[in-house]
């Protein structure tokens, strides 16, 4: 095999720096990936697209009664704004926001744990909540991490807006014990601000005159979050497909191989969704998507999330056993770029090497090369070389274009929600365009 551990490790080291979507550093990383592709004689190019980049101008959170105390916080982008003077109201801890937690939230500011999104926001708005506060971080990190909450996180598109902040989990615990009579929230932002991100795309054409029209696409996201070098999440995945490019450039397969380094994954799989939109007419020829999101961690285990038919998952498990590859597999949609391809009708999967409890962490300044290992990195890579060679060189396509029934139901529900949100977003744009026209007429 023409994959190289030393080459991979050098590239991983060189590219492990903060690469927040829409920033010059993300663009720099994209250009470095293009340069790496060129070393194998493969031309790669950028495909740009617009992204939401809300601009936060003020985020403030304080207890005002019984005793005044301010807390470090960030605003959630696109969540909404308060008046300039802010909102002052009682604070209620709604835990993980099940219905029983939301009985008495009207006229209050809510403290919530866990994930939030458009459905959650609408539920709060319908019940009269004025704002909400999420929590981040962990109890056992350096107190300095309080100042490293990730700013400007893009909020899921919603037809309602509720101003939102995030504070450190240590401060959240203090607030729950304190039972403050009143707190004050200020959120000021330009939630409509836009930016630009890009995918990096490369192709190694197949050698068979008939089979080369069929495509296997490798993906990995190369953006990181603020205050993180993103070594594990997900430069490891990006270098995995870079090594696969080196391999297939030297050993072309019968079928065509595409390589897509996706930007903007950390703000909602945006890069992969944009790729699927831009290449919609080609996707009928894409037989399989293999995505990588976090490999190479020293203490970890090999994991596969399969978004295809059960036959595909069992076939991969079979190949794994034949080659002594220790794989834990599950049929589901993964919180990574494989889901964008599955939603676009392409059977997909994601490989990862996941950490044990208490092991390496992501989305913070601790995601560095420290807990990664070159030999562990090669475990995933070496297996996928064997797997993908068999798929790419098989005399007939071995990947059925269908999905497990439970998975298909989940995908349909997701598509419906996405379609509704996109429709509402389009309606908002039309309304704003009409408002601008009316303003121009008035002038």
Q: Environment class of residue 100 by beta-carbon count within 10 Å: exposed (0-12), middle (13-18) or buried (19+)?
A: exposed
User: Is 80 exceeded by the pLDDT of residue 160?
Assistant: no
In angstroms, the CA 182 to CA 89 distance is 5
What distance lies between CA 91 and its chain's CA centroid?
31
- CA distances to 76, 80, 145, 374, 431 from 366, in Å: 22, 31, 10, 18, 44
**Could you read off the pLDDT of 383-421 as tens digits, one per residue?**
999 999 999 999 999 999 999 999 999 988 877 877 776
In CATH, which of 3.30.450.20, 3.40.50.450, 3.40.50.300, 3.40.630.10 is domain 5-52+194-393?
3.40.630.10
Where do the structural domains in the chain lie, given as residue ranges? 5-52+194-393, 61-190
User: Is 60 exceeded by the pLDDT of residue 157?
Assistant: no
Query: Model confidence at 145, in pLDDT bands (50, 70, 90)?
Result: low
**Could you read off the pLDDT of 103-127 as tens digits, one per residue?**
999 999 999 998 788 889 999 999 9
Determine contact, residues 157/188, Cβ cutoff 8 Å.
no
> Residue for token digits 């037989």?
287
Q: Is 188 helix (H, G, I), strand (E, B) or coil?
A: strand
In CATH, which of 3.40.50.1000, 3.40.50.620, 3.10.180.10, 3.50.30.30 is domain 61-190?
3.50.30.30
In angstroms, the CA 176 to CA 111 distance is 9
Query: Model confidence at 430, in pLDDT bands (50, 70, 90)?
Result: confident
Half-sphere exposure of 175 (CA within 13 A, CB side): 34
**Could you read off the pLDDT of 29-51 as tens digits, one per residue?**
999 999 999 999 999 999 999 99
In angstroms, the CA 296 to CA 237 distance is 9
* β-strand pairing of 194-204 with 91-93: unpaired
**Could you read off the pLDDT of 312-344 as tens digits, one per residue?**
999 999 999 999 999 999 999 999 999 999 999
The token pair at 260 is 């897509």
Query: Model confidence at 152, in pLDDT bands (50, 70, 90)?
Result: low
Q: What is the mean pLDDT of residues 358-379?
A: 95
């Amino acid at each position: 095999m023409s994959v190289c551990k030393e080459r991979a490790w050098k590239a991983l080291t060189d590219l492990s720096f903060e690469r927040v979507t829409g920033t010059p550093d993300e663009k720099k990383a994209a250009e470095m990936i293009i340069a790496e592709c060129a070393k194998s004689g493969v031309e790669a190019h950028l495909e740009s697209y617009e992204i939401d980049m809300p601009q936060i101008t003020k985020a403030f959170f304080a207890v005002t009664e019984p005793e005044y105390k301010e807390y470090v916080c960030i605003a959630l982008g696109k969540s909404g704004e308060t008046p300039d003077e802010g909102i002052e109201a009682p604070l209620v801890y709604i835990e993980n926001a099940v219905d029983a937690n939301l009985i008495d939230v009207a006229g209050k500011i809510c403290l919530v744990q866990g994930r939030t999104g458009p459905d959650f926001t609408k539920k709060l708005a319908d019940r009269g909540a004025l704002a909400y506060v999420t929590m981040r971080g962990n109890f056992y990190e350096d107190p300095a991490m309080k100042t490293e909450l990730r700013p400007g996180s893009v909020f899921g598109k919603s037809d309602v807006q509720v101003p939102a902040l995030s504070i450190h989990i240590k401060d959240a615990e203090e607030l729950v014990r304190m039972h403050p009579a009143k707190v004050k929230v200020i959120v000021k932002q330009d939630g409509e601000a836009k930016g630009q991100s890009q995918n990096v795309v490369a192709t190694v054409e197949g050698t068979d005159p008939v089979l080369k029209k069929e495509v296997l696409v490798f993906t990995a996201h190369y953006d990181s979050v603020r205050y993180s070098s993103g070594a594990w999440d997900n430069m490891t995945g990006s270098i995995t497909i870079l090594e696969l490019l080196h391999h297939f450039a030297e050993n072309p397969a019968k079928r065509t191989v595409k390589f897509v380094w996706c930007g903007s994954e950390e703000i909602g799989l945006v890069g992969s969704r944009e790729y699927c939109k831009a290449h919609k007419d080609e996707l009928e020829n894409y037989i399989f998507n293999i995505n990588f999101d976090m490999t190479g961690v020293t203490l970890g285990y090999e994991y596969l999330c399969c978004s295809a038919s059960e036959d595909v998952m069992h076939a991969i498990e079979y190949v794994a056993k034949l080659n002594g590859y220790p794989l834990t597999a599950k049929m589901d949609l993964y919180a990574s770029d494989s889901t964008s391809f599955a939603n676009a009708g392409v059977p997909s999967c994601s490989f990862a090497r996941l950490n044990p409890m208490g092991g390496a962490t992501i989305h913070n300044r601790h995601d560095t090369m420290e807990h990664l290992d070159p030999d562990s990195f090669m475990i995933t890579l070496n297996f996928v070389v064997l797997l993908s060679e068999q798929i790419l060189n098989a005399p007939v396509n071995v990947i059925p274009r269908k999905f497990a029934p439970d998975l298909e139901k989940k995908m349909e529900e997701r598509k419906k929600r996405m379609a509704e949100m996109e429709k509402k977003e389009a309606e908002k744009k039309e309304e704003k365009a009409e408002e601008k026209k009316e303003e121009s007429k008035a002038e």
